[in-house]
Amino acid sequence: MVEVIQGIKAEVGDKVPVGIRLCGLELLDDRGGNTPEESLETFKIAEEAGADYVSITIGWHESARSVITRDVPMGYWLPVARRVKEVVKIPVMMAFRIFTPELAEEALSRGDIDFWEVCRPMIADPQLPKKAAEGREHEIVPCVACNLCFSRLYYHQPIMCTVRPTLGHEGEPEWGYRALPKAPRRRKILVVGGGPAGLQFAATAAKRGHEVVLLERSAELGGSLLLASKVERSDGELLRFVSYLKGECERSGVELLVGREAYPKDAEGFDLTVLAHGARYLKPFPEAIIPKEAFSPSLTPGRAAVIGGEGVGVALALYLSSRGFQVAIIEEAPRIGRDVNPFYLWRYIQILKKRGVQILTGSRPLVLDQGKLLLSHPGGERALEVDLVITALREDRSSELQAWMAHAPQVLLVGDARRPRRLHNSVHEAYRIAKDL
């Protein structure tokens, strides 16, 4: 390191500041990594070698702890920066879950850091500094710490951002990174459903100049994100995204009607109806409840079987086990969480195992009779005693199309209503279709 710093400095002279990123906390105690004290030494050595600033990182890919996922509170790693600042005089910078300008401002004014490095929040919104400087913080597209951007790199895929579909298309005006071009013809659009797909669609279409009305059945906007935000601890990232989308709708003139169930007759008078009211849950047994019901605080903890082990099933198991339910996940595939980002999945499985959740893969529910759930299982059949069965099996809403088409000249399905998938699929699909209208 000393030779590298000195070699570069010798080449570039004094006009270019030369800094180095070093790990301030390795989180590798289980495999003999540097201790925090040893890590501090590396910063001192860098300063002595002539580094003009240091950038602090936390953990390595091998660290068996969460570092940048939602369960790590924003600002959690700032004490590491404070320790580094105590041992060096050169400027210290750090990213790692410093997600808002307000938090960065506090850290800077306390002297925890000298510069706010910011990675994912600026992938989500490269205009973050400008918006913050102009007092438009509420317009910042908030990063939800999902790490889709990161994981795409591991799979050698072009980078994508869940909350910003324009990523990678900044140079293509029709993608509307700076502003969406106005549509040649103004259309009247009805959007059914105020979840992420509906909100994203409505805001994007309205920005193109269309007249948009959105109907949401429940009293609150957010759809599946409202439930997802209750699953594990976070700093409200998912709800911040809902607030942002709602703000986008309001700023672009969408008429938002909440607490208003939509019926096919409502489509009359509109040029286009967009069904974005989420997936439908399949009940393998009439007694099975749907996820929304499983989040009711009035449910008494007992033995619960979650049917379906993709992301929704995993989330339900996390939530119910946190409430003291004894949970079993029943999944037909050989493993659970196939659609969950690997940054989260390893930890979710760790938590589920710690809480004693049974993960029954290769299993299919057969019969539910008087609290006994019979399963087909690789070893034959097996019965589980259950107090509650919750379905996490989703299907699209294409069966509803015909009823709407009787009243509407054009009907589109968007998001989970079109095909149940992950958040980024819904948001991107809604944006892509709406921007081309």
Ligand X SMILES: Cc1cc2nc3c(=O)[nH]c(=O)nc-3n(C[C@H](O)[C@H](O)[C@H](O)COP(=O)(O)O)c2cc1C
Q: Which is nearer to ligand X, 160 or 290 (CB)?
A: 160
State yes or no: residue 147 binds ligand SF4 (CB under 6 A). yes
Binding mask 114-153 for ligand X (x = CB under 6 A): ----xxxx---------------------------xx--x
CB of 97 to ligand X, least distance (A): 5
| Residue of 77, 96, 175, 431 interacting with ligand X (CB under 6 A) | 96
How many binding residues for ligand SF4 (CB under 6 A)? Answer: 13
Would you say 123 or 276 has its CB closer to ligand X?
Answer: 123
Q: Which is nearer to ligand SF4, 146 or 254 (CB)?
A: 146
Closest approach, Cβ 119 to ligand X, in A, equals: 3
Work out whether 163 is an interface residue with ligand SF4 (CB under 6 A).
Answer: yes
Task: Give whichever of 56 and 143 is closer to ligand SF4, judged by the CB atom.
Answer: 143
Residue 162 interacts with ligand SF4 (CB under 6 A)? yes
Interacting stretch for ligand SF4, rule CB under 6 A, among 118-126, 186-194, 215-223, 425-433? 118-126
Site membership for ligand SF4, residue 143 (CB under 6 A): yes
| Residue 166 binds ligand SF4, judged by CB under 6 A | no
Query: What one-letter code names the amino acid at 246?
Result: K
**Would you tell me the crossing angle of helices 342-354 and 311-322 to the nearest 10 degrees?**
40
Closest CA to 346 of 337, 334, 359, 355: 337
**Nearest distance from residue 167's CB to ligand X, in Å?**
10
Question: Structure tokens of 344?
Answer: 């989260």
> Between residues 128 and 388, which has the closer beta carbon with respect to ligand SF4?
128
CB of 160 to ligand SF4, least distance (A): 7
Identified binder of ligand SF4 from the candidate list 146, 212, 276, 315, rule CB under 6 A: 146
Q: Does 148 bind ligand SF4 (CB under 6 A)?
A: yes
Give the Cβ contact number of residue 60 at 10 Å: 13
Asked if 145 touches ligand SF4 (CB under 6 A), the answer is yes
> Does residue 1 touch ligand X according to CB under 6 A?
no
Buried b (16+ CB within 10 A) or exposed e, 176-202: bbeebeebeeebebbbbbbbbbbbbbb
**C-beta of residue 339 within 8 angstroms of C-beta of residue 311:** yes
Which of the ranges 75-83, 101-109, 155-163, 305-313 carries the binding residues for ligand SF4, by CB under 6 A? 155-163
* Of 144 and 329, CB closest to ligand SF4: 144
Among 85, 97, 208, 397, binds ligand X (CB under 6 A): 97
Residue 412 burial class via C-beta count within 10 angstroms: exposed 0-12, middle 13-18, buried 19 and up? buried
347 or 355, CB closer to ligand SF4? 347
How far apart are the C-alpha atoms of 325 and 53, rounded to whole Å?
50
* Cβ(205)–Cβ(212) below 8 Å: yes
Binder to ligand SF4 among 128, 144, 249, 414 (CB under 6 A)? 144
Site for ligand X, residues 16 to 75, rule: CB under 6 A: 21, 57, 68
Among ligand X, ligand SF4, none, what binds residue 96 when CB lies within 5 to 8 Å by partner kind?
Answer: ligand X
Q: β-pairing, 394-395 with 280-281?
A: antiparallel
Q: Which of 23, 107, 149, 249 binds ligand SF4 (CB under 6 A)?
A: 149
| Binder of residue 221, out of ligand X, ligand SF4, none (CB less than 5 to 8 A by kind) | none
Distance CA 328, CA 337 (A): 14
Binding residues (CB under 6 A) for ligand SF4: these are 120, 123-124, 143-149, 161-163
Binding residues (CB under 6 A) for ligand X: these are 21, 57, 68, 95-97, 118-121, 149-150, 153, 159
